[in-house]
Amino acid sequence: MISEVEPPGHGARYKTTSIIAAAAAVFFVIILSLLFFLYRAVVVDAETHRECTVAGMQFVVEKGDSLKVIGEKLEGAKLVSDKYIFIIYAMLKGKQTALQAGNYIFTNECSVSALLDTMTKGRAMTSDVAITFPEGLRIDEVQKLFLDNGIAITIASYSIGDFTSSRDIMTAAPQTAGVEGYLFPETYRFDPKKEDAHAMLQKMITQFETEISGDIFSAITQSGKKLHDVVTVASLIEKEVRTEKDKALVSGIIYKRLSLSMPLQIDATIAYLVKKKTTKLTSQDIEIDSPYNTYLYKGLPPGPIASPGLSSIRAALYPEASEYLYYLSKPDGETVFSRTYEEHIAAKNKYLR
């Protein structure tokens, strides 16, 4: 009888192989579980309803944009919280190559699934965006208001000469000057798909021409004043005081100081330089060397510091003569007028200390 003898080490090798196989199976199960939970996490996150953070957000997919680039753009625009959720979800749905170029406007639903569905079906949406521009905004504030409504444009690079004059009014303004002061405060409707930055700004400038055409522009022409100077004075008034009565009086003070070769010393011009909404300025602010600094330089600043409304334009055109040479605004907005420097200092000590 011949007996089979197990080779030395065979049992150990068998046990080792079994352990490796078992570990591999466990590892495979773990990986599958992780993939499942990842899939569930991505799908649940992508398909959860989310309101758009900015109503009317404009989003552009350029021809040739990859899935990765689109995901990065969406994250940058804060339309998605994580670009990889969008990228992975698109791949899970097999739509990574189905996204279509276009100009999209997202208004209400901004879940990842809704964004993907819109862009894969090529529903480049168009929707008028209504924006109200109040009086007294600087152009950087106008630009931010556009952005807050989902429209990204740059304004500072434009000059008056870049736009057409429907009533030949704008031809009276310096053609190389910026558009500060000429973007009339009003409510406008824009279509970001059909209108570029130039068309949108043209609409606002045309409105400015419409508003001052007729008696206002005729009065400017007859007075011998320059349009640019009137708009500049109007912008100072707009930023300084509130009521029509105060505006007319401040207008008179501005022209009186100009005639006396006194510096205007208008805080709003310094606030314009430092881009502050408050007139609580530091001594360093007042020392800024700029032609807009009406503490250091006599005469009007080079141009408007904000977009004035009609009442301020009329005040600049029809100043009210008075005995006053100084004024200040109390914390509650009331204007206090003074005849002499001593009266003015007393008013400052009383109301602003």
Q: What's the pLDDT tens digit per position in 241-281?
A: 999 999 999 999 999 999 999 999 999 999 999 987 766 78
Q: What's the pLDDT tens digit per position in 68-92?
A: 999 998 888 888 888 898 998 899 8
Question: Where are the domains positioned within the chain?
Answer: 34-126, 139-322
The pLDDT value recorded for residue 126 is: 54
Compute the distance between CA of residue 345 and CA of residue 179 in angstroms, rounded to an integer: 37
Report which of 315, 305, 304 is spatially closest to residue 277, judged by C-alpha positions: 305
- Cα within 13 Å of Cα(298), Cβ side: 8
Compute the distance between CA of residue 196 and CA of residue 202 in angstroms, rounded to an integer: 10
As a whole number, mean pLDDT of residues 46-50 equals 71
Q: What's the pLDDT tens digit per position in 90-126?
A: 998 898 888 888 778 776 678 888 888 888 886 665 5
As a whole number, mean pLDDT of residues 199-211 equals 95
Kindly write down the DSSP assignment for every residue of 231-297, as one continuous string.
Answer: HHHHHHHHHH--SHHHHHHHHHHHHHHHHTT-----HHHHHHHHT-SS----HHHHT---TT-TTTS
Q: Which CATH class is domain 34-126?
A: alpha beta
Cβ atoms 282, 212 nearer than 8 A = no
Residue of higher predicted confidence among 161 and 128:
161
